[in-house]
Structure 1
């Protein structure tokens, strides 16, 4: 799976995750699985006024089905991996 491969290369990088309930969290990506469940350490909530209960939370596990989007650090994304995986997926669908 293309996205899973990209995320695996970004462990220990800072990412921002927006959830479907409008909660935005920034933290260090520690792990991701094939369902795009995400574990973040050293988290910070972007809108602390709306989510004061999250102030004491330092680590979290985010179920993949509640993620709206993930903002990745552009300088750490392996573009060669993306290009190669896209070519493989395109070739597989043409068969």
Structure 2
């Protein structure tokens, strides 16, 4: 997903759109070419072009729909449900 455009919603309701530069196992992210979705509420963010986001403040990360393998997610979900039911029967 590095190099793709993402939208990161933070726990303080700030949403940042930008290009994902890097991410680690703690969900810490570096974004480049950022824009803020509500610039009237956060005018001080207009001059910021790159940012580091600490993973503990992330509420949600929206990925490009065409980059998500939904079939793989569905298969993994089905396998998990089957394994849970197998324990009971």
Q: Give the TM-score, by structure 2 length.
A: 0.79
Q: What runs of 5+ residues in structure 2 fail to find an aligned partner? A: none
RMSD (Å) for aligned C-alpha atoms: 2.1
Aligned-pair CA distance for 1:76: 1.2
Cα separation, 2, equivalents of 1:65 and 1:30: 18
Q: 1:10-49, aligned counterparts within 5 Å?
A: 10-49=1-40
Cα separation, 2, equivalents of 1:70 and 1:16: 6
Number of equivalences? 84
Aligned structure 1 segments of 4 or more residues deviating by more than 3 angstroms: 78-84, 89-94
Q: What runs of 5+ residues in structure 1 fail to find an aligned partner? A: 1-9
Q: Give the TM-score, by structure 1 length.
A: 0.75
